[in-house]
Structure 1
Amino acid sequence: MVPFDDPDAVKLRDEVQQEYVVRYGEPDETPLHPGEFDPPHGLFLVGYLDGDPVATGAWRRPGLAELRPGDIELKRMYVAERARGRRFARALLAELERTAALAGGRRVVLESGVEQPEALGLYRSCGYTGIPNYGHYREDPRSVCLAKELAPPTG
């Protein structure tokens, strides 16, 4: 866990924004506020490979009218190209789900897009299913929104 403004988090957020530019022609303009990712209301994770920051993912409580009470939203899931194929994304997703459930989340929601088939494949293989579009890109035909019910924490 790192703060939103940690240098490694900033580096990876900049990388994912460049990935969006390549795939969509523009960066993601979803409003994000650093405090949204501070525990206990959020979490920002960075994964490392030999000391190099290569993966990131976060969650926050979105508080959007079109979502359910208890929903937690995943943001900025990204694995750098230099580390892809090593199961970072799957491990990061599992940790985000685990910590979201511990924080009282009942469902995880996310917004991705049609130009991210690898991400959509990962989410669907982990039990995510389609929901109506929400948030900043709800009217964008390239937007794909997914959700997964969280099991209550055990023990």
Structure 2
Amino acid sequence: MTAPAQAPATAPIAGAAAISSARSFVRVEVADPRVRPLLRELGDEYSARYGKNAHSELARYPDQEFTPPHGGLLVLLLEDGEAVAGGAFRRYDESTAELKRIWTHSAHRRRGLARLVVAELEREAAAAGYRRIYLTTGHRQPEARNLYLVTGYTPLFDTEADPEATGGPLPFEKRLTSTREATP
């Protein structure tokens, strides 16, 4: 797999820089100050849903796993620079990227922003040479489960079973078309 050209950490991403005149994606590192509020709120929400401190789980992977050439972290900004959504991918295996930390700030939900984040992460992963996406979501996150189902992910679990009864993560996958394969 050939590494894609690396853009500066805060440069707008080509091809998706302007979803609309009010939003843009930027590549960032985990330490970027725009990421902290999103991860803090994500950890707080996971802690409330699962009854245990989830902040350490969010820090489980080394930051460099979410940097090129094998990973990436994207933040969706409003025109005023406010970070409202984001997500990351990391190498799962040679041909598979794993999506992590898909998140929309609670004040900006139900606007389709998570769909935009997932689509942009898929484009980035395909550009990095991945042919498949793998991800898991928690059994107490029906919004995430529905997001992945409506965006074309194949559930790797029984969708008729009670998610609470499984108590474990709900895995999904999706095949990608590499941007290298799509160009003549």
TM over 0.5: yes
Alignment map for 1:52-91 (pairs within 5 Å)? 52-63=82-93, 69-91=94-116
Percent identity between matched residues is: 42
More displaced 10-residue stretch of structure 1: 46-55 or 1-10? 46-55
2:130 maps to 1:100: no
Aligned counterpart, 2:62: 33
Could you list the structure 1 runs, at least 4 aligned residues long, displaced by more than 6 angstroms after superposition: none
Other-structure match for 2:174: 148
Partner of 2:153: 128
Aligned length: 143
For normalisation by structure 2, the TM-score amounts to 0.73
- The one-letter code sitting in structure 2 at the alignment partner of 1:5 is A
Root mean square deviation, CA, Å: 1.6
Unaligned runs of at least 5 residues, structure 1: 64-68, 133-139
- Kindly name which structure, 1 or 2, has the bigger radius of gyration based on alpha carbons: 2
Q: Is the 8 A contact 1:115 1:142 kept in 2?
A: no
What TM-score do you get using the length of structure 1 for normalisation?
Answer: 0.86
Letter in 2 for 1:116: Q
Residue aligned with 2:30, SS? coil
Determine the C-alpha separation between the residues in 1 that align with 2:167 and 2:48. Answer: 18
CA distance in 2 between counterparts of 1:150 and 1:6 reads 29
Report what 2:72 is aligned to.
43
Deviation string 1:13-48 (CA, Å, 9 cap, x unpaired) is: 111111101111121626211111111111001112
Query: CA–CA distance in 1 between the matches of 2:70 and 2:96?
Result: 12
- Higher RCO, 1 or 2 (CA under 8 Å, sep at least 6)? 1
